[in-house]
Structure 1
Amino acid sequence: MRSNRGKLIALLFLLPFAVFFIAFQIAPLVWVAVNSLRAGDAWGLGNFAEILDSPFYRQAIRYSLEISIWSSLIGLLIAVLGSYSLRQVDSRLRDFVMAFANMTSNFAGVPLAFAFIIILGFNGAITLLLKQAGIIEDFNLYSKTGLIILYTYFQIPLGVMLLYPAFDALREDWRESAALLGANHWQFWRYIGIPVLTPALLGTFVILLANALGAYATVYSLTTGNFNVVPIRIAGLVSGDVFLDPNMASALAMFLVGLMTLITLAHQWLLRRSYHVQK
């Protein structure tokens, strides 16, 4: 009786979260999925066929993937090096850097775009200094390369915050035992460090990729909606900047959902494979 009462109380406390989750996560996703199948007055896969046939929409998907993947990989690499380095420094400096990473992970949108225009725009401070030094001839912040740099900036703090706790799994006595058995630094990381960190690395990459694929405010503020990526196209179709077509916007949104589903499934498969290899 007491056990059943405890379960009932737990379910009652879970009810507000369940209502919130269904209302703001499941219901909108179902609405988008249903409306993505409506093209005009007909139902079917016409919107998806138009996306695949349109060079414009295919370019938006390609640009979104390229920017997201490269910024996630670069951000992940820098985050790994940064998280590992934080483990080797004094606790006060470590606490300061973690607090700074927490703050900068929320620095996005219009302020971030404005900051990058000031320092890396056509007449930005750093751009002019690099030109005067002869290091670069020209740099376009509003290009794909510029957006990769911009996306990488807000990926790094998030990556550090996600990966820093993962290094707790690496015990110092493992390194000492490996050294006593004759393993060098590279062999330790090849056979012990990287396999232990693999689940955290893969999970962080998936989160960074999702963060980049869905980014809208920063790229819109920087390019005023003139760069062809999927979030910009979805916003344009919903707001009616060129023409209003929420059903096509829903289809593009389902493309993002499908991409993230495939990436998540690949992530789970790699995790299971890594687990079996370690066993």
Structure 2
Amino acid sequence: MKLAKWAVWFPMLPGLLGYGLFFLFPVILVFSEALSAPLETFNRMISDSYLLSSIGGSLVLAGSASLMSLLVALFIAYFLSQTSPRMRQWLSIAIALPLVFSGLIVAYGFILTFGRAGFVTQLLGQIGIPEGQFGNVIFTPVGLAMVYCYYLIPRAVFILLPVILNFDWQQMKVSESFGANRWQSYRYVFLPQLYPAMITSLCVMVSVALGAYGTALALSGTQLNILPLAIYSKISDGGTDFPVVGMLSLLLVGLCVLFTLLADKLKQRLEDM
């Protein structure tokens, strides 16, 4: 009987070993660096105005990109819900393609398309739009937010779509039969049932955008003041303050976990209403 119980764990050993070696062990090392002298490390971190502004910059960038992505994803998910199952399947495959590529490939693709010598930039230059001004946008926070939207929108679409597909559209007709116009039906009948999925998708996107690193590094190097790039700058170019790097990493992980817990809390509250 004991052998049977242990035999259940044998197939899981490779996964558990990989999880411990490549996730738990690095996290423990980061924790040990950050908490070796927590008060001194925290004081050094908050005394650096660059690091403090990077936290705010990350939150603003992640929040704005996520809000834009959510707005676009709402229209895409609604459109997909109105198409035939076969068409929806093919369009879903196309929408999911951005999730296949790494952040570096996405960044280089946007540079080749919208950069200073990009294909679209050169075409716009033919009609009088200054290539230098338009080509520089992709390397600014606005351009980075656009690139983030490229792979945030599919995540939101696939969270919203099942809810919209399962929505009973007869409720809209019932509300209109009681005198509500089309906008009021969407506002008071459709959207309240979509709020939990909207909150979930928004928090998931903020968590993903907060930790995005490769895309920002490829587009701007360390010129943009956001938290992942601040961590990178602290461990590159001869940086040796590993306790502060560990504290910043814990802060980044804590923010992502906070938004995940917030999504669950708000979702439960909205579903109980």
Where on the TM-score scale, by shorter chain, does this alignment land: which range?
0.7 to 0.9
Q: Indicate the residue corresponding to 2:106 in structure 1.
A: 112
Task: Specify the alignment match of 1:31 in structure 2.
Answer: 29
**Partners of 2:163 and 2:194 within 8 A in 1:** yes
Could you say if the C-alpha distance between residues 272 and 45 of structure 1 is closer, same or farther in structure 2, counting changes exceeding 3 Å?
same
Asked if 1:177 corresponds to 2:177, the answer is no
Contact 2:41/2:243 (<8 A) preserved: yes
Q: Which among 52, 56, 61 is matched to residue 46 of structure 2?
A: 52
Deviation >6 Å, runs of 4+: none
Seen in structure 2, the aligned counterparts of structure 1 residues 74 and 174 have a Cα distance that, compared at 3 Å, is same
- TM-score, with structure 1 as normaliser: 0.83
> Runs of 5+ in structure 1 lacking a partner?
none
Q: Which residue of 2 aligns with 1:245?
A: 241
Higher helix proportion:
2
Task: Identify which of 260, 266, 269 aligns with 1:264.
Answer: 260
Partner of 1:152: 149
Aligned counterpart in structure 2 of residue 80 of structure 1, from 74, 79, 83: 74
Please give the residue correspondences for 1:1-279 in structure 2 after superposition, counting only pairs within 5 Å: 12=9, 16=13, 21-38=19-36, 43-133=37-127, 138-139=133-134, 140=136, 141-238=138-235, 240-276=236-272, 278=273
Using the aligned pairs only, state the percent identity: 30
CA distance in 2, matches of 1:103, 1:264: 24
Residues 10 and 215 (structure 1), Cα distance of their counterparts in 2 relative to 1, 3 Å cut: farther
Number of residue equivalences: 269
Q: Residues 33 and 250 of structure 1 are in contact (CA less than 8 Å); yes or no, is this contact kept in structure 2?
A: yes
Q: 2: distance between equivalents of 1:153 and 1:121?
A: 16
In the TM superposition, residue 9 of structure 1 has moved relative to its aligned partner by: 8.4
Q: Please tell me whether the aligned partners of residues 70 and 148 of structure 1 are also in contact (alpha carbons under 8 angstroms).
A: yes
Change (3 A) 1:26 1:192: farther
Over 3 Å counting, the alpha-carbon distance change for 1:58 and 1:107 in structure 2 is: same
In 1, the alpha carbon distance for the partners of 2:152 and 2:204 equals 10
SS of alignment partner, residue 89 of structure 1: coil
Q: Quote how far apart the aligned CAs of 1:101 are.
A: 1.5
Name the aligned partner's letter for residue 213 of structure 1. Answer: L
Q: Cα distance, 1:26 vs. partner? A: 4.2
Taking a change above 3 Å as real, the CA distance of residues 21 and 111 of structure 1, as seen in their structure-2 partners, is: closer
